[in-house]
Structure 1
Amino acid sequence: MAIETGISYVKSSLNGWIGCTQISPGCDACYAMAGDLRFHGGKHWGPGAPRHRTAASNWKKAESWNRQAAAAGTFWPVFWNTQADMFDNEVPDEWRADAWNLFALTPNLTWLLVTKRIGNAKRMLPADWGTGYPNVWVISTVVNQEEAERDIPKLAELDAAVKGISHGPGLGPLDLSFRIESGRYAGKRAIDTLDWIITEGESRQGRTPREYKMEWAESLAEQASEARIAFFMKQMGHLPTRAGERVRFKGKGAHVLEWPKPLQRQEFPLGNVLVPEPEHALRAVHRIIPIAG
């Protein structure tokens, strides 16, 4: 069962610190910013705002999860920093160093670093990163084609066990067939540098959600299949449309079996699979798919 998270592609989430700055159209309805405004008056948000490091007892949860994962022999993905960004310039390097150390000390957990600042990542990796920690996945958020063409080449230059993109919230279609112009993957299609694609529609965060066209998700699912990489449909959000018409789903559209069959896909790379919670077993669809090549 999930622990302390509603994110469908992880089992747990852990915040090492709280606070960030909006840098993308995808940040306009940020749930973390809304939460900080509600509970802390927004004092941890924006340029120059102090980031808040969480208590040592919170960090120690990872040690307990690591022991449980080892005992059970299960795949235990953890979303690191739902309330912040690992590669935020305004976070002390010492905090990041402690996070890298935590990841190294918990090899039975798979850490997902989802970032809107992939351009900062390379210079903020630890000295012993090498070709990547085997239990750390790096995922760049790209909400539209402009961000994809700007950031996927930066992601491609990193070494990591798994590299993926999160089209969340999806604010436009993505064509991932474009060619990377420079670097070690020059001439290669962007999609061929990826291991995983996640997509989702926007949910309400105290404002009207933006439209999420299901055609965008269908296109990404087809592109993932053609490239033989994993595809994860997270949710439809609160304003999904199809052929220009509003489509109604329960809540934020997270019930898998309500979706069209081609989108009933929640795949993980590397042959790992997240076991659904018992009460959700009838609606959750999780497939195992290896990384190509």
Structure 2
Amino acid sequence: MADKSSIEWTEATWNPVTGCDRVSSGCDNCYALTLSKRLKAMGAEKYQNDGDPRTSGPGFGVTTHQGALDQPRRWRAPRVVFVNSMSDLFHAKVPIAFVKDVFDVMRETPQHTYQILTKRSLRLSRMAEKLDWPTNVWMGVSVEDASALERVDHLRTVPAAVRFLSCEPLIGPLDGIDLHDIGWVIAGGESGANYRVMDINWARGIRDDCRDAGVPFFFKQWGGRTPKQLGRELDGRLWDEMPRRAV
């Protein structure tokens, strides 16, 4: 777990699960897959399990870490915590019993606000009624282009305090996206050696849809070879809107 995170929309990361598998075009240049390979080579304990080379890679096999569950309890000062920045909590290889363990920790540490992102929205929707959703959990889905819009419909069925979208890496337009029952939207371009360029009108379209719907909008980055290469301004300003945290 990182006490501080360079991700602009969170403050810390917590990884009780590591590893994943590609499921859509948004995964093509996955930063976590590349980082896991590097961490395995460095001998990092959590990244020694390899995934299927067709969909995953070295150090990126899905692995649960029982010993990491208690880490948020050691943080007394409130933090905004991105859960599983190096995995997907709703991956089919993560047992529901372990998902419930993660939710128990989040419920028992109400001083923190937890942000969870998934591309496995169907499993999320099917599992949601079996989970006890505390008010300090924000649940989101990744929506990289129009082919992923079904994930938004799945998310709407989840009784999270805040439902949010991460339109990053944004690799296609999402014109007229339905933001009913959505409480926050993040958008951003791809970064890395093989990054795909984001059209400015894709970002403007999401921003304008958010403004029309009264939904907070957060523009994370333009992307480039490095995340910060092209900056964060959209039409001459920063967009750092966020939902209110539960009190």
TM-score band (shorter)? 0.7 to 0.9
Q: Which runs of 5+ in 1 are unaligned?
A: 70-75, 178-189, 240-248, 273-293
The residue aligned with 2:144 is: 143
Report the Cα distance in structure 2 between the residues aligned to 1:159 and 1:251, rounded to whole angstroms: 34
Q: Is the 8 A contact 1:202 1:209 kept in 2?
A: yes
Q: Does 1:264 align with 2:238?
A: yes
Deviations along 1:191-212, whole A, 9 cap, x unmatched?
12211110010010xx321011
Q: Is the 8 A contact 2:142 2:168 kept in 1?
A: yes
Q: Secondary structure at the match of 2:124?
A: helix
The residue aligned with 1:152 is: 152
User: Cα 1:38–1:112, aligned 2, differ >3 Å: closer, same or farther?
Assistant: same
The residue aligned with 1:20 is: 20
The residue aligned with 1:291 is: none
Q: Does 1:233 align with 2:234?
A: no
Q: Secondary structure at the match of 2:77?
A: helix
Q: Which runs of 5+ in 2 are unaligned?
A: 42-47
The residue aligned with 2:183 is: 195
Q: Is the 8 A contact 2:146 2:173 kept in 1?
A: yes
Q: Is the 8 A contact 1:203 1:237 kept in 2?
A: yes
The residue aligned with 2:126 is: 123
Instruction: Report the count of equivalent residues.
Output: 234
Q: Which of structures 1 and 2 has the bigger CA Rg?
A: 1
Q: Secondary structure at the match of 2:218?
A: strand
Q: Does 1:45 align with 2:54?
A: no
Give the counterpart letter for 1:15 in structure 2. Answer: N
Deviations along 1:169-216, whole A, 9 cap, x unmatched?
000111234xxxxxxxxxxxx212211110010010xx3210111221
How far did residue 50 of structure 1 move? 4.8
Q: Is the 8 A contact 2:221 2:228 kept in 1?
A: no
Report the Cα distance in structure 1 between the residues aligned to 2:169 and 2:227, rounded to whole angstroms: 18
The residue aligned with 1:30 is: 30
User: Cα 1:128–1:50, aligned 2, differ >3 Å: closer, same or farther?
Assistant: closer
Aligned residues with identical type, % of pairs:
26
CA RMSD of aligned residues (A): 2.5
Q: Secondary structure at the match of 2:179?
A: helix
Give the counterpart letter for 2:87 in structure 1. Answer: A
Q: Secondary structure at the match of 1:164?
A: strand
2:96 pairs with one of 90, 93, 110: 93
Report the Cα distance in structure 2 between the residues aligned to 1:271 and 1:32, rounded to whole angstroms: 27
Q: Is the 8 A contact 2:20 2:61 kept in 1?
A: no
Q: Does 1:170 align with 2:145?
A: no
Report the Cα distance in structure 1 between the residues aligned to 2:81 and 2:139, rounded to whole angstroms: 12
Give the counterpart letter for 1:225 in structure 2. Answer: R
TM-score normalised by structure 1 residue count: 0.73
Q: Secondary structure at the match of 1:199?
A: strand
Report the Cα distance in structure 2 between the residues aligned to 1:253 and 1:139, rounded to whole angstroms: 26
Deviations along 1:117-139, whole A, 9 cap, x unmatched?
1111123336452xx32011111
User: Cα 1:223–1:64, aligned 2, differ >3 Å: closer, same or farther?
Assistant: same
Deviations along 1:240-282, whole A, 9 cap, x unmatched?
xxxxxxxxx994334x4x5423x5211111368xxxxxxxxxx
How far did residue 30 of structure 1 move? 0.5
Deviations along 1:18-64, whole A, 9 cap, x unmatched?
111100101011011112223337844346985223362x4333112
The residue aligned with 2:77 is: 68
User: Cα 1:124–1:98, aligned 2, differ >3 Å: closer, same or farther?
Assistant: same
1:215 pairs with one of 201, 207, 218: 201
